[in-house]
Structure 1
């Protein structure tokens, strides 16, 4: 992609869904529904740690200069094409050549700038697709807002204090667009998917709200009773 594509308007302001929920729907559709449809929220050590890191990343200054790099903190993001909105932890602006048509023009700054989003996450460095999709969605918003191309960003992990560079190739972009589509379809349906316990449920902050083991077992009993009643009805007709 050499230049930013023209963006048709497909969503209104009232349609916008949180970028952060893309990570939810990639992790678990039920989790996304509990947040967006049932408005459920519970903190655990992971979400609390994430909140602390986001607060630190946003800081007190919205704009900071470090040498030739400009750092934007807590930048509000929006995409009317994909129906998403949110806030970037950090967006770095790196000076690029004026002939680089993929760069962005920034108000108050001369020349073109390479836009580089950074998402902060607690814990150890890991290749987690849900986080990469969330970061890529930020890139899609920035491209739409700034009329530029964002080829790469990074996820900063708090435990090792290291960045993981993420390239926004077409495969990741396609997964991100698909996640946005699924999220809007989920909210439009107004239906929360049934619980199904998996090992990853143990790390979810909504474990006590969702209760996948209990609700899953309850559904099994309900199916058993329904099947038993149906069988007895069939037998009585013979």
Structure 2
């Protein structure tokens, strides 16, 4: 395998973004991070445009006194085998808080929480600062949503890492979920969930229009 950074092929290092992809759909994670498949749609383009500012490394003053916003911050964890980049890390008053930017509606307990929690764990390992929680900033409502670092969320991160590592090293792609998530996925035409999971009796397959309804 040649898809690991720096030539690694043991599966010891996992991109943090893959945790969110796996939490949404294991097959999506494998298509992106193993097969190298990625297709833009209107939502991914909107996301890229929304990230233009935070994708450029730099430091800016925050509205909070004594706090600065660090943009496009590389992070990693040797203990967890993770690496990635935070959109924003606010640092000040002996605290550090990662802020992940998303274009869609915030879903408590959703994939974004896994991603932000992983960023918190990386920063805790890297910095001699308190990293008590993370935040998700949603462009749709221009709000920040706090992600509390509960024991359950930390356990969910470690469980996701273990499951994702098995998916990335498996000889075959995971089966498609074939549910409502597929309609919002930009990889729909690459994944072909209907074709892969279709029954052998072709006459029992619903018309494609019914599946998209």
TM-score by length of 2: 0.83
Native 8 Å contact 1:71 1:93 kept in 2: yes
Any idea what SS the aligned residue of 1:43 has? Answer: coil
CA contact (8 A) 1:133 1:175 kept: yes
Q: Deviations for 1:45-100, whole angstroms, at most 9, x for unmatched residues?
A: 222222222222234x51122341111100001111111111100000121xxxxx
Of the three residues 200, 207, 213, the one matched with 1:221 is 200
- Residue 65, structure 1, aligned to residue 44, structure 2: no
1:225 corresponds in structure 2 to: none
- The DSSP-based 3-state class of the residue aligned with 2:54 is helix
Cα distance, 1:199 vs structure 2: 1.0
Instruction: Please say if residues 101 and 137 of structure 2, whose CA atoms lie closer than 8 Å, have aligned partners that are also in contact.
Output: yes
C-alpha contact (below 8 Å) 1:125/1:162 kept by paired residues: no
2:137 aligns with 156
Q: Which is richer in helix?
A: 1
For the aligned residues, what is the CA RMSD? Answer: 1.8
Cα deviation 1:119-139 (Å, max 9, x = unaligned): 000023332510000000000
In 1, Cα distance between equivalents of 2:48 and 2:184: 16
- Cα displacement (A) at 1:201: 0.7
CA distance in 1, matches of 2:129, 2:92: 13
Q: Which runs of 5+ in 1 are unaligned?
A: 1-11, 96-112, 223-238
CA distance in 2, matches of 1:18, 1:176: 13
Distance in structure 2 (CA, Å) of the matches to 1:137 and 1:180: 10
Contact 1:196 1:212 in 2 (8 A): yes
Equivalent positions of 1:1-238 (< 5 A) are 14=8, 15-59=12-56, 62-66=58-62, 67-95=65-93, 113-217=94-198, 220-221=199-200
132-141 or 186-195, which deviates more: 186-195
Structure 2 CA distance for partners of 1:62 and 1:27, relative to 1, 3 Å: same
* C-alpha distance in structure 2 between counterparts of 1:93 and 1:178, whole Å: 29
Task: Report the TM-score, using the length of structure 1 for normalisation.
Answer: 0.75
Cα gap change, 1:170/1:199 in structure 2, threshold over 3 Å: closer, same or farther? same
Q: CA deviation at 1:182?
A: 1.2
Structure 1 residue ranges (4+ consecutive) displaced by more than 6 angstroms after TM superposition = none
Residues matched between the structures, number = 191
